[in-house]
Amino acid sequence: MAAIIAGDGYLGAGYKYVQIDDCWSEHERDPISQRLVANQSRFPAGIRKLADKVHSLQLKLGIYGDCGYKTCGGYPAQLRSRDGASNYFELDAQTLDDWQVDSLKFDGCFIDPLEAERICPAMATALSQQSNGHDRATLLICEWPFYMMYAHAEANFTLAAESCNTWRYYDDIEGSSLIEDSYAWRLLIIGLKPWYLVTEMIEGIPKVVATFSFRVVVLAPPNWLCAAAAVVAAAVGPGHWFDPDQLVIGNFGLSKEQAQVQMAIWCIWSAPLFMSNDLRAIDSHSASILKNPGLIRVNQDKFGVLGMMLAQSDDGQLQAFVKPVEPIRNGCPSFAIVYLNRQTLGGHVEMSYNLRELLIRSPIHQLAKNQLEIDEDHRGEPINATKCLNRLRKAMTKPRTNETGPKSTLTWLKVAPESEQIVYNIQDLIANKTVGSIGLNSDLKLMVPPSGVRVVQIVENQ
């Protein structure tokens, strides 16, 4: 798999990590050193040799751990005891450093979810201490905030951002109808499909899950992510991202259009792009979606803003998402815009929203905050969010006048003289071509297929 990533264009597109999931170790730690031991049959040369091979391909190696007393698969984890009184954090961080492992997926099985915020963040400290003295830092992928949802507790997203490079707070996405694990049987009971799970993640609709006692429980409120987006977005920025789970593109569970939806929304959210698929058998359409340069550019935008859903139809089937991105022009950002059609039946739908209304509601203040976080020496054009928003509100407007009366204090959205206009070039990111230009006062109209998206980036004319 690593050879395919390195040789088939994925590395060039930006994919760098090869992540080993659960069940990689022996069932017991070394009885003398208490260190983790790689499974002898699967990794006879050990993890360090594997890391060396992966590094020789210019890739990075990740491995799996758990903040509980054992992993979800029942293997050794990072707590010594059920009560969390002692742990292996420092020892395991040292082991991972000795192995030259570059990332750790830190799960949350077999720990009280309500104790996770007290116990789990210390792993970040242990990893950081090991990275002192060399340039290689360990990427920490936190799953434990997600388990708090099952305890009906909202995670402290600020703490998650301070303790983790990526952090989950929603359920898993499965890319196949195969019943492979304890989660998949729940999907069978309630008839969920990969497309439902992707749109559920986007919309946060009520999640109904059958428990082992066959009670039915609701795990998330309606429109969870959209409703909580402002809180989540405040914790998202360069080096700390919300993780909506893996990309299941190429696993036969999504159509081409649906795969474009997942890729587009994950990129508009600045989400980590972890592929969960078999690259040896992936089709060309899926591969092109995963390597789409325009979408990845939006995903990797240096300001790392979580794009917001800012408009939708009355039935919630048509939605518009906006993310401010580079380049900066005249003190304002450019914008990536996604139109999502969640309808599964029918033909293309013309979606139309006023461009100004979308832009002035976008998270420009968050972009300015993130710019200060990463650009302490103020290189590049600075963003003053208040001035930018005032410019967007006032441009291309002039007072309403009456022929026989004084000027009204109301504004009239009428095209002003050319010198006062703001005009944007439109780049279709999926088709990878320029498709025209649009004035700030205009309605952005796009034809969107069922279960599909249109994605554009608009950049102000200079």
User: What's 121-152 look like in SS3?
Assistant: CHHHHHHHHHHCCCCCCCEEEECHHHHHHHHC
Q: Are 320 and 353 in contact (CB under 8 A)?
A: yes
Cα 113 from Cα 144, distance rounded (Å): 7
Domains defined for the chain, CATH in brackets:
2-171+228-307 (3.20.20.70), 318-460 (2.60.40.1180)
Q: What is the pLDDT of residue 395?
A: 87
Of residues 214 and 176, which shows the higher confidence score? 176
Q: Residue 1 class from Cβ within 10 Å (0-12 exposed, 13-18 middle, 19+ buried)? A: middle
Which residues fall within 8 angstroms of residue 326, CB to CB, at 6 or more apart?
301, 302, 303, 333, 334
Q: Report residue 177 as tokens.
A: 């109808």
Look over the chain and give the mean of its residue pLDDT values, rounded to a whole number.
86
Burial profile 296-335: b = 16 or more Cβ within 10 angstroms, e = fewer? bbbbebebbbbbbbbbbeeeebbbbbbbbbbebeeebbbb
DSSP 86: S
Q: Are 430 and 454 in contact (CB under 8 A)?
A: yes
Q: What is the pLDDT of residue 204?
A: 58
Question: Cis link prior to 327 (omega < 30° from 0)?
Answer: yes
Q: What is the pLDDT of residue 199?
A: 80
Q: Which residues pair with 361 in a beta bridge?
A: none
Q: Are 440 and 422 in contact (CB under 8 A)?
A: yes
User: Is 243 an annotated catalytic residue?
Assistant: no
Q: Helix crossing, 224-234 with 194-203: angle to 10°?
A: 60
Assessment of whether the complete model's pTM goes beyond 0.75: yes
Q: What is the pLDDT of residue 385?
A: 95
Cα 436 from Cα 132, distance rounded (Å): 50
Q: Residue 368 class from Cβ within 10 Å (0-12 exposed, 13-18 middle, 19+ buried)? A: buried
3-state secondary structure of 233: helix
| Rounded alpha-carbon distances, angstroms, from residue 310 to 161, 305, 356, 363, 417 | 24, 14, 12, 10, 29
Of 456, 445, 453, the residue nearest 353 (C-alpha): 445
Tens digit of pLDDT for each residue in 428-446? 999 999 999 999 999 999 9
Q: Report residue 409 as tokens.
A: 């204090």
Pairing of strands 452-460, 332-341: antiparallel
Q: Are 165 and 241 in contact (CB under 8 A)?
A: yes
Catalytic residue among 66, 107, 243, 301: 107
Residue 386 has pLDDT above 80, yes or no: yes
Least confident of 182-186, 198-202, 233-237: 182-186
Residue 329 has pLDDT above 60, yes or no: yes
Residue 214 has pLDDT above 50, yes or no: no
Of 70, 20, 81, the residue nearest 46 (C-alpha): 20
Whole-number CA gyration radius for the chain: 24
User: Is 172 an annotated catalytic residue?
Assistant: yes
User: What's 302-350 look like in SS3?
Assistant: CCCCCCEEEEECCCCCEEEEEEEEEEEECCEEEEEEEEEECCCCCCCEE
Kindly report the CA angle at 458 between 299 and 400, in degrees rounded to 5? 135
- The model's confidence at residue 118, banded by pLDDT at 50, 70 and 90, is very high
Q: What is the pLDDT of residue 200?
A: 74
Catalytic residue among 8, 172, 375, 428: 172
Q: Are 277 and 203 in contact (CB under 8 A)?
A: no
Of 373, 383, 377, the residue nearest 327 (C-alpha): 383
Torsion angle in degrees (nearest 10) through CA of 10, 265, 448, 14: -20
Of residues 319 and 201, which shows the higher confidence score? 319
3-state secondary structure of 452: strand
| HSE-up of residue 51 (Cα within 13 Å, Cβ side) | 16
Of residues 86 and 188, which shows the higher confidence score? 86
